[in-house]
Amino acid sequence: MEPSSTPADRHTYRTPLPRVALTPDAGHGPLDGTWWPRCDALELELPLLISSLEPETAVRVSVYPGACPDAPHAVMSPGREIAVEQTGTGGQAHAVTVDCGALGRWVLLVVPPEEPVGTAARPLAAATDPDNSPTAAGLPALAETGNLGDTAEAAE
């Protein structure tokens, strides 16, 4: 009788890719892209986001208190600790700021995790269009009115 074999990769867990879209060739301006987390737990989502930016320096993330009232002060990520601070007012309510010191600073529109694919795809596409220059405060309003254009790929 021969021993049975099972494929080794059958039980392998793969970390999902972050749903983030960055504006190409942007000079870290008023809005550098869009981030669509899968859930509102920063402990789970921030390491994926930060790894997609590939900074090798210390990282500090600023979030709006109204959007993340239970945000931790720090999030552990492989090889680093991500400092989290609650800051900002008004227009920052829909944005997260990722400060990577000498590497720069990214301001990203945050699409709520519960948004359907069709709704989230518009701001993801608009934020990556170098011809658009909306602010974090203005992009959600544009998405609601449908003035972002009809072509967008879902980042799922």
pLDDT in tens, the chain (156 residues): 555 555 555 667 677 788 888 887 655 567 788 899 999 889 999 999 988 887 777 789 998 877 777 889 999 887 888 999 988 655 567 788 888 887 788 888 888 888 899 888 888 887 777 666 555 555 555 545 544 433 333 333
Q: In what order do the strands lie in the sheet with 59-63?
A: 20-22, 33-35, 105-110, 95-99, 59-63, 80-86, 74-77
In whole angstroms, what is the distance from residue 127 CA to residue 124 CA?
5
The answer to whether 78 and 47 have CB atoms below 8 angstroms apart is yes
In whole angstroms, what is the distance from residue 155 CA to residue 117 CA?
8
Q: Is 106 helix (H, G, I), strand (E, B) or coil?
A: strand
109 CB-side CA count, 13 A: 29
Beta strands at 20-22 and 33-35: parallel, antiparallel or unpaired: antiparallel
